[in-house]
Structures are given as structure tokens and as C-alpha cells.
């Protein structure tokens, strides 16, 4: 096994620290779902380091509030907004087609977790539909802009937000949309997070010759609106909070949770590197039962599965 990639950062590194003091002036970046949660801190850290950041989100009012706050902090207009609903491919295509000029970094940050059975506008199961297929279509639509961004000398980067939740399920090839019943919100979430990791592998395989590389990120445990579908009792059961709603000390702040995304976007250690699964600002090792909340399972980085998922995803988005 090759040596894992590491950095000088770690578990408690913040997003702003993870920029490493870089001047990102002239770099254009998109962060999906950055109207709340760790996306806000991802966008903030990149913009305060000089990048031109577009927040792509469903709620334009909330996105504008975030953009205005970051711009005021930066003392310059570095953040703009665009409407993007990942659960509707028409919205995804409209956003991608409206983009002009090069793109250097795409952070596929938005996501839904453990939702009841819902369907996207195209009839996909919501979690794999929004978390994976929406982002897949977005990256496909922006691949020309990413290729243009790579012409500046450095590969363009795609950061795909996965999760330790990928351990709950490989891709359910026979019925990924649960059309035959048997829906389980955690199996569905696990499948979508496996898909996010496999997408990073697939994007690197497909697009490295175009100067586009992808890596997957496990941000860690953070209390954000991502938990909107979970009851207090469920969160207590998982050990995320106590009876009084106080977070487990192991939980990260939003600033800490955004650090690996930022490192994946700009870290020198990842220059020319793709197809990796990252956590705590380092490449993750194999998952083990002894350390169940970290590491990556082999099926989430399997190149054959990545190829199969890519072909399936292309068929899914082309059929709508």
C-alpha cells in the first residue's frame, strides 16, 4: 500500500487555517448548498483568501444573506449567488448553462440525510437523486468550464462531499431508487455517500486528461441543518448530543467541519492528486471495526464500480 497523503492540519483545524495563508485571487469557485452549515464556512474561507466564490443554493434569500456577510467581512464583493435545486435536473442544467468563463474548483457540498422516502422532480429517490445525480449532472454541465480553468497550469478540482455514512451501503444496483419497496433512510443515505466517493474516482478516471481531478471528503460529525430529518431522540441515541441537547465533545464546529473541504480545494499536498477519500485534512486509511467512525471501505473507491456508476448515472440523467 502506498503512503497516505497527510498535511500539517488535523481534526480541529478550521476552514480558514486550511487555506494555508494562500492568496486565491483570480481563482473562481462554486460551493453548492452554502446557504447553511459547513458550506457557509467553506465559502467564507475561500473568499477571505481572495477567491471569487459563487454560492449555489435553492434559497436565494438565505444565500444572499451569507454572501453579504462574507463580502462585508472581506471588504470586497467576492461572493455571488446562483439558484440551484439539485432535486430538479432542469434547475441543474439552467445553472450550468448560465456559467461563463473558467472554473477552478467545484465543491459539491449540498446534501440531504436520512430523509423519509421522497422523489426528485425526475422521480429519483431523493438522497441518491440530490446527493449524487444532481451533482453528477452539475459537474458534467460544468466540465468545459473546469477544463478551461485547468488551462492556467494547475488541474481543476472537484470536491465531492461523502461521509462515514458510506459504510451503511454499497450501491444497490438492482434497485437504487427503492421502486420495489424496502426503503431504509440510512441505507439510502449510505448508498448516496458511496456514490459521492465513487464519483470522485470516476471523475478522475474520465477527466484527468482534461486537467480535472476529483477527491471525496468526509467532513466529520457536525450539528447543522443536515440533521433536520432526525428527532432529538435519534441524535441522543447516536451519541451526538446529550439529554440537554449539548453536543458530544467529539463533534466538530462548522468551521472545523469545513476544513477538509477547503484543504481538498486548495491544499498543495493534493496538487495533481485525484480519486482519494479524505478526512481530517489527510487521506483516509481503510475502515476497521475497531475504529468504525473513520476510514474508507474498499467498495467506495473501487474503480470498476466507479465506471459502472458513471455509465448508470449518464443513462439516468439522459432519460429525463
- Map 247-258 to HEC letters: ECCCCECHHHHC
Residue 236: partners with Cβ closer than 8 Å, 6 or more residues away: 242, 243
Query: Does position 152 have pLDDT exceeding 80, yes or no?
Result: no
pLDDT digits (tens, 9 = 90+) for 11-32: 999 999 999 999 999 999 999 9
pLDDT digits (tens, 9 = 90+) for 113-142: 889 999 999 999 999 999 999 999 999 999
As a whole number of angstroms, the distance between CA 39 and CA 217 comes to 13
Tell me which of 109 and 240 has the higher pLDDT.
109
Stated pTM of the model: 0.94
As a whole number of angstroms, the distance between CA 43 and CA 188 comes to 28
Q: Which of 17-21, 172-176, 288-292 has the lowest mean pLDDT?
A: 288-292
Q: Is 150 exposed, middle or buried (0-12, 13-18, 19+ CB in 10 A)?
A: buried
From the options 3.30.70.20, 3.40.640.10, 3.40.50.300, 3.40.50.720, give the CATH code of 15-218+257-318: 3.40.50.720
C-alpha cell belonging to residue 298: 474498499
Mean pLDDT value across residues 308-312: 98
Query: Does position 257 have pLDDT exceeding 80, yes or no?
Result: yes
Query: Does position 235 have pLDDT exceeding 60, yes or no?
Result: no
pLDDT of residue 151: 85
Query: Does position 231 have pLDDT exceeding 70, yes or no?
Result: no
As a whole number of angstroms, the distance between CA 113 and CA 105 comes to 24
Identify the active-site residue in 183, 189, 277, 299.
189
Tell me which of 299 and 250 has the higher pLDDT.
299
The overall average pLDDT reported for the chain is 93
Q: What does the domain layout of the chain look like in residue ranges?
A: 15-218+257-318
pLDDT of residue 320: 73
Q: Quick one: pLDDT band at residue 319, thresholds 50, 70, 90?
A: confident
Query: Does position 277 have pLDDT exceeding 80, yes or no?
Result: yes
% of the chain surpassing 70 pLDDT: 92
pLDDT digits (tens, 9 = 90+) for 199-228: 999 999 999 999 999 999 999 876 555 556
pLDDT of residue 139: 98
CA-CA-CA-CA dihedral for 315, 111, 35, 55, to nearest 10: -30
Q: Quick one: pLDDT band at residue 304, thresholds 50, 70, 90?
A: very high
Query: Does position 240 have pLDDT exceeding 80, yes or no?
Result: no
- Is position 277 annotated as part of the catalytic site? no
- Map the chain to HEC letters: CCCCCCCCCCCCCCHHHHCCCCCCCCCEEEEECCCCHHHHHHHHHHHHCCCEEEEEECCHHHHHHHHHHHHHHHCCCCEEEEECCCCCHHHHHHHHHHCCCCCCEEEECCCCCCCCCCECCCCCEHHHHHHHHHHHHHHHHHHHHHHHHHCCCCCEEEEEECCHHHHHCCCCCCCCCCCCCCCCHHHHHHHHHHHHHHHHHHHHHHHHHHCEEEEEEECCCECCHHHHHCCHHHHHHCCCECCCCCECCCCECHHHHCHHHHHHHHCHHHCCCCCCEEECCEECCECECCECCCCECHHHHCHHHHHHHHHHHHHHHHCC
pLDDT digits (tens, 9 = 90+) for 50-105: 999 999 999 999 999 999 999 999 999 999 999 999 999 999 999 999 999 999 99
Q: Quick one: pLDDT band at residue 282, thresholds 50, 70, 90?
A: very high
Amino acid at each position: 500500500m502506498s503512503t497516505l497523503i497527510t498535511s500539517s492540519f488535523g481534526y480541529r483545524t478550521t476552514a480558514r487555517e486550511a487555506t494555508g495563508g494562500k492568496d486565491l485571487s483570480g481563482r473562481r469557485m462554486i460551493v453548492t448548498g452554502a446557504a447553511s452549515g459547513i458550506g457557509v464556512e467553506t465559502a467564507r474561507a475561500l473568499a477571505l483568501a481572495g477567491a471569487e466564490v459563487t454560492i449555489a443554493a435553492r434559497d436565494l434569500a438565505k444565500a444572499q444573506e451569507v454572501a453579504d456577510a462574507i463580502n462585508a467581512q472581506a471588504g470586497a464583493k467576492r461572493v455571488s449567488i446562483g439558484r440551484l435545486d439539485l432535486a430538479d435536473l432542469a434547475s441543474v442544467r439552467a445553472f450550468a448553462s448560465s456559467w461563463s468563463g473558467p472554473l477552478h474548483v467545484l465543491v459539491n457540498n449540498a446534501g440531504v440525510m436520512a430523509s423519509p422516502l421522497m422523489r426528485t422532480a425526475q422521480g429519483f429517490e431523493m438522497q441518491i437523486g440530490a446527493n449524487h445525480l444532481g451533482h453528477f449532472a452539475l459537474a458534467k454541465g460544468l466540465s468545459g468550464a473546469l477544463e478551461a480553468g485547468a488551462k492556467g497550469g494547475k488541474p481543476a478540482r472537484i470536491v465531492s462531499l461523502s461521509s462515514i455514512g458510506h459504510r451503511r451501503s454499497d450501491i444497490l444496483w438492482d434497485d437504487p431508487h427503492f421502486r420495489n419497496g424496502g426503503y431504509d433512510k440510512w441505507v439510502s443515505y449510505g448508498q448516496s455517500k458511496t456514490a459521492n466517493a465513487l464519483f470522485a474516482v470516476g471523475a478522475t478516471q474520465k477527466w484527468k486528461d482534461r486537467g480535472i481531478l476529483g477527491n471525496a471528503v468526509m467532513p466529520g460529525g457536525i450539528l447543522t441543518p443536515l440533521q433536520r430529518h432526525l428527532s432529538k431522540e435519534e441524535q441522543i441515541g447516536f451519541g451526538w448530543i446529550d439529554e440537554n441537547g449539548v453536543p458530544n465533545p467529539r463533534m466538530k464546529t462548522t468551521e472545523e467541519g469545513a476544513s477538509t473541504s477547503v484543504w481538498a480545494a486548495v491544499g498543495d499536498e493534493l496538487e495533481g492528486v485525484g480519486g482519494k477519500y479524505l478526512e481530517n485534512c489527510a487521506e483516509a486509511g481503510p475502515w476497521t471495526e475497531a475504529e468504525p467512525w473513520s476510514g474508507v471501505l474498499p467498495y467506495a473507491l473501487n474503480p470498476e464500480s466507479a465506471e459502472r456508476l458513471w455509465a448508470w448515472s449518464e443513462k439516468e440523467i439522459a432519460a429525463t
